[in-house]
Structure 1
Amino acid sequence: MAKRKTQKDPEDLPDAPDGKSKRKNDDSDSDEDMDTLDVDFEWFDPNPAVDFHGLKTLLRQLLDVDNQLFNLSELADLILSQPLLGSTVKCDGTESDPFSFLTVLNLETHKDKQVIADLTAYLTRHSTTPSLAPLQTLLTAPSTSQIGLILTERFINMPHEIVAPSYKMLQEEIQWALDEKEPYAFTHYLVLSKAYMEVESNLPAAEQPPAKKKKAAKGG
Structure 2
Amino acid sequence: MSKRKQDAGESVINKNPNTDDESGEDEDFDVLNVDFEWFDPQPEIDYHGIKALLQQLFDVDAQLFELSALTDLILSQPTLGSTVKVDGNQTDPYAFLSVVNLQEHKDKPFMGKVIQYIQSKARSNPGLAPLAELLSQSTIPAIGLVLTERLINVPSEIVPPMYTMLLEEIDWALQDKEPYNFSHYLILSKTYTEVASKLDAEDSRPKKKNKAVGSSFETMYFHPEDEVLQRHAICHGGFDYSIKQDEGHSDSKRVFQELGIKPQGHAILISADQFKAAVQNVAEYLKPQA
Equivalent pairs, count: 197
Query: 1:38-117 maps to which residues of 2 (within 5 A)?
Result: 38-117=33-112
Q: CA deviation at 1:196?
A: 2.8
Q: Note if 1:138 corresponds to 2:124.
A: no
The 1:96/1:201 distance shift into structure 2, 3 A limit, reads: closer
* 2:96 and 2:149 in contact (8 A); partners too: yes
Query: 1:4-19 maps to which residues of 2 (within 5 A)?
Result: 5-9=3-7, 13-16=9-12
Aligned residue type for 1:93: G
- Which stretch has the larger CA shift, 170-179 or 124-133? 124-133
Q: Note if 1:154 corresponds to 2:180.
A: no
Rounded Cα–Cα distance in structure 2 between residues aligned with 1:74 and 1:196 = 28
The 1:185/1:33 distance shift into structure 2, 3 A limit, reads: same
TM-score normalised by L of structure 2: 0.61
Cross-structure match for 2:220: none
Deviations 1:127-173 (A, max 9, x none): 11322111111112124621000000000110000011110000110
Report SS of the residue matched to 1:109. helix
Select which of 31, 38, 52 maps to 1:36: 31
Q: Hey, which of these two has a bigger chunk of helix by percent?
A: 2
Q: CA deviation at 1:194?
A: 1.4
- Which stretch has the larger CA shift, 98-107 or 198-207? 198-207
Q: Hey, which of these two has a bigger chunk of strand by percent?
A: 2
Q: CA deviation at 1:32?
A: 7.1
Query: Tell me, which stretches of 5 or more residues in structure 2 are unaligned?
Result: 14-18, 210-290
Q: CA deviation at 1:15?
A: 4.6
Q: CA deviation at 1:27?
A: 4.6
Quote the sequence identity (%): 53
Deviations 1:162-213 (A, max 9, x none): 0111100001100110111100000010000113356676627937xxxxxx
Rounded Cα–Cα distance in structure 1 between residues aligned with 2:47 and 2:117 = 23
Select which of 143, 158, 166 maps to 1:170: 166
The 1:93/1:14 distance shift into structure 2, 3 A limit, reads: closer
Q: CA deviation at 1:7?
A: 1.9
Cross-structure match for 1:120: 115
Report SS of the residue matched to 1:79. helix
Cross-structure match for 1:183: 179
Q: CA deviation at 1:70?
A: 0.4
